[in-house]
Amino acid sequence: MSKCVFLDRDGVLNEDRADYVYRIEDFIIPDGVAEALAQLKAAGYMLIIITNQAGIAKGLYTRDDVMACYQYLQDQCGHLIDDIYYCPHHPDYDSQSLTRKPGSLLLEKAMAKYNIRSDQSWMIGDALRDMQAGRRVGVRTVRIAQEPQLSTDCDGCAPNLLEASRFVLQYA
């Protein structure tokens, strides 16, 4: 069985924006992301992105745009990420979906496909819905926040992915 760090995309792997990030020229990777991914990979973790991409349902961008940003991230960070799962739905535009966080179906699919152990895995995200999705499948959670403070919603808090990875590695 494998251990995994599930990663939200916007606000974790790239800078979030008020509007949607779907063009490579707007896809800004913060300092420390590549280093964090390399450290987690060296510690034996699979790395899988779990992301809501409601802009697809809203007609703002396409699945190809999501995958182009993913490929750009892979190219910039040494191809360390094992897979990406994304939810293209939004309940106000197309349909309700258990794949949309805080639903946990994307994590469940990845866990089944890669035989991932929940008791050795983590979810790193910047929103409560990321923490909720992770908790639903029994993984520990780290929330990225500008003003990190521990709460009952997560197992740890950090200001960025590099610090979040250091928190995870304390338990590896």
pLDDT in tens, 109-163: 999 999 999 999 999 999 999 999 999 999 999 999 987 666 789 999 999 999 9
Catalogue all structural domains in the chain, each as residue range(s) with its CATH number: 3-169 (3.40.50.1000)
101 has pLDDT over 70: yes
54 contact partners, CB below 8 Å, separation of at least 6: 87, 88, 89, 90, 93, 100
Per-residue pLDDT tens over the stretch 72-97? 999 999 999 999 999 999 988 888 89
Cβ atoms within 10 A of the Cβ of 42, count?
11
119 is catalytic: no
Active-site position among 10, 65, 126, 130: 10
Predicted local distance difference test score (pLDDT) of residue 114? 98
8 is catalytic: yes
Active-site position among 8, 65, 126, 130: 8
